[in-house]
Amino acid sequence: MESKLAKQIRIWITIVAGAFILIFSGLGFGAKFIELIHTFTGESDGVFAITPMVNYLLATMGFFCMLIWATLNGMFNDVEGPKQTMLERDEMLDAK
């Protein structure tokens, strides 16, 4: 059984890592997005940038919708639950 301290460490690492990724990447992406708007409106290169950007948006938009759908459906209410269920099910499958 996981000790209370170990549990807290795990939760904190998850939160810090998540925040770290979100804040720094968010800043990077935000800056690039503003740059895109400037490039698109001000430079001949701008139109060129469209193809990879549209590809990116297509690839990630679906996932963004899925993230929202999963959150609204309570998929992340018990974030650690599935790791136990998975192990239990697998053991039962072998036991049958």
Partner 1 sequence: MTSSKTVQTDIPRHEDIVDERLVRWFFYASLVYMGISMLGGLLMAAQLVHWYPIQNIEFLSAGRWRMIHTNAVAYGFIANAFLGMLHWVVPRLTLHRVASVWLSYFIFFAWQVIVLSTAGGIIFGPAFQSQDWVMEAARNLHISMNLGAQGLEWGETPFWIDPVALLGLALVAFNFLVPISKAKGSLYVTLWYFMAAFVWTFLTYAMGNFLPEYALAGSSAGAVGGLFIHDLVGLFVTPLGWGLMYYLVPIILKKPIWSHGLSLVGFWGLAFFYPLQGIHHFLYTPIPMFLQYGAVISTIAVEFVVATVVINFFGTIWGDSRMAFKNLPIRWFYTGIVYYFITCFQCALQVTLTFQKLIHFTDWVVGHAHLVMFGVFSQWIFGMMTYLIPRLLKKDWYSNRLCEWHYWCSAVGVFVMFLDLTLAGLFQGYYWAALQPWEVGLNGSQPFWITRIFAGLAMFFGFLCFVYNLVMTMRKGESNATATATA
- In the complex, the smallest distance separating the C-beta of residue 53 from partner 1, rounded to whole angstroms, is 8
By CB under 8 A, tell whether 68 contacts partner 1: no
The alpha carbon of 32 is separated from its chain's Cα centroid by a whole number of angstroms, namely 19
Secondary structure string (H, E, C) spanning 46-89: HHHCHHHHHHHHHHHHHHHHHHHHHHHCCCCCCCCHHHHHHHHH
By CB under 8 A, tell whether 81 contacts partner 1: yes
By CB under 8 A, tell whether 71 contacts partner 1: no
Gyration radius (Cα) of the chain, Å? 21
> Helices then strands (H, E): number in the chain?
4, 0
By CB under 8 A, tell whether 32 contacts partner 1: yes
Give me the residues that bind partner 1 (CB under 8 A), please.
Answer: 10-11, 13-14, 17-18, 20-21, 24-25, 28-29, 32, 35-36, 39, 45, 48-49, 51-52, 55-56, 58-60, 62-64, 66-67, 70, 74-90, 92-94, 96
